[in-house]
Structure 1
Amino acid sequence: MDNLNATAATLLGFLHGGEASGYELLGVAEDVVGAFWTVTRSQVYRELAALAERGLVVAGDAGPRSRVRYRITEPGREAFAQWITTPPGAEQIRYPLLLTIAFGGHLDRTRLLSYVDQHRTVHERRLKTYQAHLGTAGVDAHQRATLAFGIRYEEAVLAWMDDLPAILGPVDERSAEGPDSASCGRCG
């Protein structure tokens, strides 16, 4: 059996809970893994078609709003079981705000901190959402573990944001003008 990509495996994982349309799977993905794993609408439909072609899911008849419901097959369960037993790779942080902060010496400090404030709002909202989901009936131990990570992550990001003005230190003339190319040890 060919290896699954993480998005296909995610869809198979959700289909263990029962039949679902692509639209429903997208909603579940946004609710359950959306903050740490991006799944787009086009990916969902592309992967469902590929999974059906491989015999890992079966598409039902079109229902209301022409939505097709999919169910996982036994080969789909086997492929998922193979995927879930493969050790996951290391995480990679791709946080656009960090990239901007890395080059923040080229920005006015007020503007940089306004970007941080915009991101703070997102993280505060996520924290509240995770806390609310944690109290929801039907959340199993694995989902609680994932939510606990999300809560701690958001708390850590918010604490870091609180500390950021002190970490950046006082504004001096050089940082207000931006670093010159000699300040980059890897730049030539």
Structure 2
Amino acid sequence: MADLNPTAASLLGFLHAGEASGYELVNTAQQLIGDFWTLTRSQVYRELAVLAQRGLVEAGPAGPRSRQPYRLTDAGRAAFSTWLAEPPGAEQIRYPLLLTLAFGSALDRDRLMGFVADHRTVHQKRLADYRERQAHGVPDRFTEATLAFGIRYEEGVLAWMDELPAILGER
């Protein structure tokens, strides 16, 4: 059986909780992994079709609003287990602000710092959201570990942003 890509594998992982429509899977992905792994609506539907062709999920009859539920097959469980047992690849940071900062010498400093301020607001909100989730309790230690990373990451990004004016100096 061909390897699973991370998007397909995540859908199989979500379906371990029970059957779900593509719409529900998009919402689950946004809530559970959306801050560190992006899945677009079109990717989800495309991957579900491929997973169904491969026999890893089964599509049920369309329900209200033409939403079609999908459920995991035994082959899907096995494929997910195989994927999960493989070592994950190295992370690659794709942070648009860093790309802009890399070419910051060609940008007005005030405009650049405005971009940083806009991003700061996003990271402050994420940090507050993560801390709120943590305060309300987490369902398991794996979610707790993922949430702890998110908190440390946001704290680190905000600390780096605090240092930027000194790093960049005056022009």
TM-score range, shorter chain: over 0.9
* Aligned ranges 1:89-168 → 2 under 5 Å: 89-137=89-137, 139-168=139-168
| Aligned residues of 2:22 and 2:68 also touching (Cα < 8 A) | yes
| Aligned residues of 2:138 and 2:144 also touching (Cα < 8 A) | no
Matched, 1:45 2:39: no
Q: Which residue of 1 aligns with 2:74?
A: 74
Deviation at 1:58, TM superposition (A): 0.6
Deviation at 1:137, TM superposition (A): 4.7
Once the two structures are superposed, what CA deviation does each residue of 1:39-60 show, in whole Å capped at 9, x if it has no partner? Answer: 0000000000110111100111
TM, length-normalised to structure 1: 0.88
Any stretches of 5+ residues in structure 2 without a counterpart?
none
3-state SS, counterpart of residue 70 of structure 2: strand
Deviation at 1:133, TM superposition (A): 2.1
Q: How far apart in 2 are the matches of 1:166 and 1:138? A: 38
Q: Which residue of 2 aligns with 1:60?
A: 60
Q: What's the Cα RMSD here?
A: 1.0
Bigger radius of gyration, 1 or 2?
1
Q: Which residue of 2 aligns with 1:85?
A: 85
Distance 1:44 1:110, change over 3 A: same
Q: Which residue of 1 aligns with 2:16?
A: 16
Deviation at 1:130, TM superposition (A): 1.5
Distance 1:54 1:146, change over 3 A: same
2:71 corresponds to which letter in structure 1?
R
Once the two structures are superposed, what CA deviation does each residue of 1:101-125 show, in whole Å capped at 9, x if it has no partner? Answer: 1111111110000000111111111
3-state SS, counterpart of residue 79 of structure 2: helix
3-state SS, counterpart of residue 50 of structure 1: helix
Deviation at 1:135, TM superposition (A): 3.2
Q: How far apart in 1 are the matches of 2:43 and 2:135? A: 30
Q: Which residue of 1 aligns with 2:7?
A: 7
Q: How far apart in 1 are the matches of 2:125 and 2:63? A: 34
Distance 1:138 1:112, change over 3 A: closer
Distance 1:138 1:2, change over 3 A: same
2:53 corresponds to which letter in structure 1?
E
Identity across matched positions, percent: 65
